[in-house]
């Protein structure tokens, strides 16, 4: 049996855990993810939403009709991207307890990738959604 995926925010107020295996592991370069994370890209591990238990406060912001972003209201850490229509939720890779546990399988929305960033990992790249 594999160990659960666990993680949390910078201040420790919000913790999460799931026993699920990742559905996919992607790096998104879209502008919404750049804005929502304040970072050059958003790397996340996607799991079925019903498998995730969250302890602590989470603020939610709907960045589009389809996706809501979850963050710690105390320290502001980006934690989640929730897609209710698809029954899935993304866990921000930087918030995992074992940040290096997973390796992304593809890059998406590279059409809006920041120009300085060179992707040399050999992973599949999609200009938009896969
Ligand atoms: Zn926090
Ligand atoms: Zn994105």
pLDDT, tens digit, 9 for 90 and up, residues 65-79: 999 999 999 999 999
Cα 9 to ligand 2 centroid, rounded to whole Å: 20
Looking at all shown ligands, the one closest to residue 70's CA atom is 1
Q: What pairs with residue 77 in β-bridges?
A: none
Looking at all shown ligands, the one closest to residue 40's CA atom is 2
Q: What pairs with residue 108 in β-bridges?
A: 28
Query: pLDDT grade, residue 27 (50/70/90)?
Result: very high
Looking at all shown ligands, the one closest to residue 8's CA atom is 1
Cα 129 to ligand 1 centroid, rounded to whole Å: 30
**CA–CA–CA angle 15, 18, 21 (5° rounding):** 140
Contact present, 59 and 71 (Cβ < 8 Å) = yes
Cα 10 to ligand 1 centroid, rounded to whole Å: 5
pLDDT, tens digit, 9 for 90 and up, residues 31-72: 999 999 999 999 999 999 999 999 999 999 999 999 999 999
What is the pLDDT, as a whole number, of residue 2? Answer: 81
Cα 97 to ligand 2 centroid, rounded to whole Å: 22
| Calpha distance 11→72 (Å, rounded) | 9
- The strands making up 5-8's β-sheet, listed across from edge to edge, are 5-8, 15-18, 53-55
pLDDT over 90 at 1, yes or no: no
What is the pLDDT, as a whole number, of residue 18? Answer: 98
Question: Is the full-model pTM beyond 0.85?
Answer: yes
């Amino acid at each position: 049996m594999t160990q659960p995926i666990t993680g949390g925010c910078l201040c420790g107020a919000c913790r999460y855990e799931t026993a699920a295996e990742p559905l996919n592991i992607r790096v998104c370069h879209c502008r919404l993810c750049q804005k929502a994370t304040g970072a050059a890209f958003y790397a996340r591990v996607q799991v079925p939403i019903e498998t995730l238990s969250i302890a602590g406060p989470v603020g939610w912001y709907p960045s589009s009709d389809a996706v809501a972003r979850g963050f710690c209201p105390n320290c502001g850490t980006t934690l989640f991207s929730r897609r209710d229509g698809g029954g899935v939720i993304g866990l921000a890779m930087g918030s995992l307890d074992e940040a290096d546990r997973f390796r992304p399988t593809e890059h998406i929305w590279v059409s809006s990738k920041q120009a300085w960033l060179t992707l040399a990992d050999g992973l599949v790249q999609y200009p938009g959604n896969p």
